[in-house]
Amino acid sequence: MQDLLKKFENKKPEITFEWSDSETEAEGWVVINSLRGGAAGGGTRMRKGLDKREVESLAKTMEVKFTVSGPAIGGAKSGINFDPNDPRKDQVLDRWYKAVMPLLKSYYGTGGDLNVDEIHEVIPITESYGLWHPQEGVVNGHYHATEPQKIRKIGQLRQGVSKVLEDPTFTPNGPKKYTVADMITGYGVAEAVRHYYKIWGGKLEGKRAIIQGWGNVGAAAACFLAVEGVKIVGIIDREGGLIREGGFSLDEIRSLFVKRAGNKLVADELIPFEEINSRIWDLESEIFVPAAASRLVTQEQAERLVKAGLEVISCGANVPFADSEIFFGPIGAWTDTQVSVIPDFIANCGMARVFAYLMSEQAEVTDQAIFADVSKTIEKALKKVKKENPEKIKLAESSFKIALAQLV
């Protein structure tokens, strides 16, 4: 597996597009790892300090993810090094999408990612430059769709991704309306945990969980886990967190979801970051959902979680361990030998799978059909892993072996 991984990690990406903004200090990259199947896909992220290497590693992660979610295309990613809180963000995104438009028309499909919103930013801006949908490049490059097929596939994408959820099963309730894009990745992360206990054995109800990050992925995963009877005992976010050893009720978790300020945890009794960071890793819990930024979980934190009784990690963030290696460094590898690690490309494949499903011939644009398809895709991937490795450790290693056999 390590040889396959090295080979895949060290292969130079097919296309790297570099951009410097004419009016601000922003700089950006599109990295297309390969045009496998004639196209490549991956979202657009923005953060201060982002560099080309991060975009490259995320493009490779996307390629691995497509072996699970489909379609059989190459991995790509867009990254912009700019402060997302800067008031000039909208203009920067506007100039960025104008510059990458030829790629998006031909063979590259994108979407939202860290600090870039699919529904409110990506779709309106790309639409203003004549793109029917941010996945149009995949429809053209991979499916070689005829005009009627293209109209149908893009129609399904336009309707499905921004579909307002009507089924209360899939929303935290409250006055706000939520879309498929808001909830689906967190749903998949929670479903990965549910399927894990179903496939490898064990009762999910009553298990305790720690959530890292309270954006769409972490907060939604917490809601869906709480519905299954999981007790959320700790939440750690950028500026602070919460601990409740007996677990928060489902209503409390839903209320914390609804009260978020953007992607930020908002609560009266917020514990300051330094204090929560010193305490949370020793909380007794069986489930850990890292769903904040990439490369945050340290060796010490992993060791403390394992010591406190951890059983399974469902990776909501891409590459959550603080390793410098693209996929699988010493922290990730060590943790994989101690507990069940469901890797990001299975656990958080929800949005990628929605795109693939909505581009397929048999897609039904209903809440139930879209969510059931994501759940089935994750279950199928985990059953393949169980067949390769019935043990409760080295799940991530086995998952990589299955994926890389298709790519290298």
Which residue in this structure is represented by tokens 């990259």?
Answer: 29
Residue 5, pLDDT score: 85
Averaged pLDDT score across all residues of the chain:
95
Cα(180)–Cα(379) distance, integer angstroms: 20
Residues in the chain with pLDDT values less than 50: none
Residue 184, pLDDT score: 96
pLDDT per residue as tens digits for the range 252-286: 999 999 999 988 999 999 999 999 999 999 999 99
Of 22, 379, 27, the closest CA to residue 199 belongs to: 379
CB-facing half-sphere around the CA of 226: CA atoms within 13 A: 28
Cα(349)–Cα(62) distance, integer angstroms: 9
Q: What is the pTM of this model?
A: 0.93
Residue 17, pLDDT score: 98
| Lookup: tokens for 268 | 């009266």
CA 132, 134, 135: angle at the middle one, nearest 5?
95
User: Is the sign of the CA dihedral 146, 151, 156, 162 positive or negative?
Assistant: positive
Residue 375, pLDDT score: 98
Residue 114, pLDDT score: 85
Residue 283, pLDDT score: 98
Burial class (CB in 10 A: 0-12, 13-18, 19+), 144: exposed
Burial class (CB in 10 A: 0-12, 13-18, 19+), 65: buried
Of 132, 50, 33, 56, the closest CA to residue 92 belongs to: 50
Q: How far is CA 394 from CA 200, 294, 308, 380, 391, in A?
A: 13, 21, 19, 18, 8
| Lookup: tokens for 17 | 């597009």
Q: Are strands 312-314 and 271-272 parallel, antiparallel or unpaired?
A: unpaired
H/E segment holding residue 250 = helix 250-258
Q: What is the DSSP string of 51-116?
A: -HHHHHHHHHHHHHHHHHHS-S-EEEEEEEES-TTSTTHHHHHHHHHHHHHHHHHHTEE---BTTB
pLDDT per residue as tens digits for the range 219-257: 999 999 999 999 999 999 999 999 999 999 999 999 999
